[in-house]
Amino acid sequence: MTYRTKVAAVYLLGFFLDLINMFIASVAFPTMADAFNTTPSALAWVSNGYIAGLTLVIPFSTLLTRRIGPKRVILLSLFLFSAASVAAGLSATLESLIAWRVIQGVGGGLLIPVGQALTWQHFKPHERARLSSAVMLVALLAPACSPAIGGLLVQTLSWRWIFFATLPVALVTFVLACLWLKHEMPAMNAARLLNLPLLADPLLRFSMLVYLCVPGMFIGVNVTGMFYLQHEANMSPAATGMLMLPWSAASFMAIAATGRYFNRIGPRPLVVAGCLLQALGILLLLDVSQISAALLPTVAFVLMGAGGSLCSSTAQSSAFLTTRREDMPDASALWNLNRQLSFFAGALLLAQALNLTQAWLAPLAAWHGMFIFAAGVTLLPVLYVFRLNNTQVLTQLRQENS
């Protein structure tokens, strides 16, 4: 195994850990609500606290990497993550659980941008498309298995085991990072925490907007929707967790389609199709309370999986297309900061939208209003994508492939 393959493996395992913790907790929210006697909006901070920790520490990741090197940063992040996972599982109050989730997020927020920058620097620009496909497959695998496993853990053991379950993966990643990664001190001269001039790149800006409006909204729908599906449609925790399996199957096909057609047709048609599919999937949830079977939620998650992954894989393929190798650490910090902000904003925005609508509308109508709002935000990138020069992107892709 080559060194760059080992670097990529450590990064992908860390990315897998990050995504597991993004998705596995939501299926346990109704059980946590009973255990802590709290509301859905308060419990949303179990997810938001994790995302907040990730978000706050990302701007400092490049600075810390320059001081102690990427290997030490990755090992520090995995130690923090593992210790906080144990503490979160042992929490006696909601406040302590949220606090440990923030620390858990700090660990993930150090690992992801540092690991991504280190990995991308070992691959040439024309090789990064295949690397992006591997990243997207990990992004598919974690949401596919974590809610289903989380639902089973909640039903057979308790909600605490959703935090203990990630420890084996964290420990394996720590050992591999110790054995495989070299001590490197990157030669980066940038003095500021965030290299904001990189946002002048229209492809990077466009990709970041897509993440805010599409994957971000899905995270919000997934977090809040677990209450809706379990309380309004009488679905069990395991059944709601299993909805991520058809979501993942549709996502896999969308990722394959992006890999096949991105270089041929560019980002515009893929993003338009993806936004429309996810918006339609969200709107299908409006009638879920009227039926007892899980058919309509399944179709909704299939559409959200296909649409969301068309958009996220297109954004991943577009983001660093024109980024220079020496700018990758700073570009990675910006990208991951935006990614975490999108997840945080999506969950927080929809939780607050639900609170506002509940103050004025009946409970079921309030849920419907929240889903309509989420579908509207999902469609926003369609307005921007027609400002993007799709022909220029295609010309650049052909030049790189020639």
pLDDT tens digits for 61-82?
888 888 888 899 999 999 999 9
Which tokens hold the place of 308?
């969301």
Torsion from C-alpha of 206, 210, 212, 218, nearest 10 degrees: 180
pLDDT bucket at 276, cuts 50 / 70 / 90: very high
pLDDT value at residue 41: 73
Largest distance between two CA atoms of the chain: 61
The b-or-e profile of 80-114 (16+ CB within 10 A means b, else e) is bbbebbebbbebeebeebbbbbbbbbbbbbbbbbb
pLDDT bucket at 387, cuts 50 / 70 / 90: confident
Query: Which of 263-277, 349-363, 371-385 comes out lowest in average pLDDT?
Result: 349-363
Q: Give CA–CA dist 54/174, Å, rounded.
A: 18
pLDDT value at residue 212: 93
pLDDT value at residue 27: 80
Which tokens hold the place of 375?
């579908």
pLDDT value at residue 186: 64
- In this structure, the chain runs to a length of 402
| Greater pLDDT, 28 or 307 | 307
* CATH class of residue range 3-185+195-401: mainly alpha
Residue-wise pLDDT for 363-373, tens only, equals 788 888 999 99
pLDDT value at residue 160: 93
Q: Give CA–CA dist 47/17, Å, rounded.
A: 14
Q: Give CA–CA dist 250/96, Å, rounded.
A: 37
pTM of the model: 0.76
**Statement: residue 307 has pLDDT above 90:** yes
Report which listed range, 102-111, 124-133, 180-189, 220-229, is most confident.
102-111
Which tokens hold the place of 30?
């109704």
pLDDT bucket at 281, cuts 50 / 70 / 90: very high
pLDDT bucket at 402, cuts 50 / 70 / 90: low
The whole-chain average pLDDT of the chain stands at 86
* Beta carbons of 63 and 193 less than 8 angstroms apart: yes
pLDDT bucket at 175, cuts 50 / 70 / 90: very high
Residue 305, CA distances (Å) to 68, 99, 204, 281 in order: 39, 31, 23, 9
**Statement: residue 357 has pLDDT above 60:** yes
Please state the rounded mean pLDDT for residues 215-244. 82
| Greater pLDDT, 140 or 338 | 338
pLDDT value at residue 45: 85
Please state the rounded mean pLDDT for residues 216-240. 81
Q: DSSP secondary-structure letter at 165?
A: T
Q: DSSP secondary-structure letter at 185?
A: -
Angle at 246 (CA atoms; ends 244, 248), nearest 5 degrees: 65
pLDDT value at residue 293: 55
pLDDT value at residue 145: 77
* Beta carbons of 374 and 217 less than 8 angstroms apart: yes
**Statement: residue 205 has pLDDT above 90:** yes
pLDDT value at residue 275: 97
Q: Taking the mean position of all CA atoms in its chain, how far away is CA 75?
A: 22
pLDDT value at residue 204: 92
Closest residue by Cα to residue 16 from 102, 134, 123: 134
Closest residue by Cα to residue 274 from 225, 302, 312, 301: 312
Query: How do the domains of the chain map onto residue ranges?
Result: 3-185+195-401
Q: Give CA–CA dist 204/208, Å, rounded.
A: 6
Q: DSSP secondary-structure letter at 199?
A: G
Percent of residues in the chain assigned helix, strand, coil, to nearest 5: 85, 0, 15
Q: Give CA–CA dist 83/223, Å, rounded.
A: 25
Report which listed range, 42-51, 126-135, 304-313, is most confident.
304-313
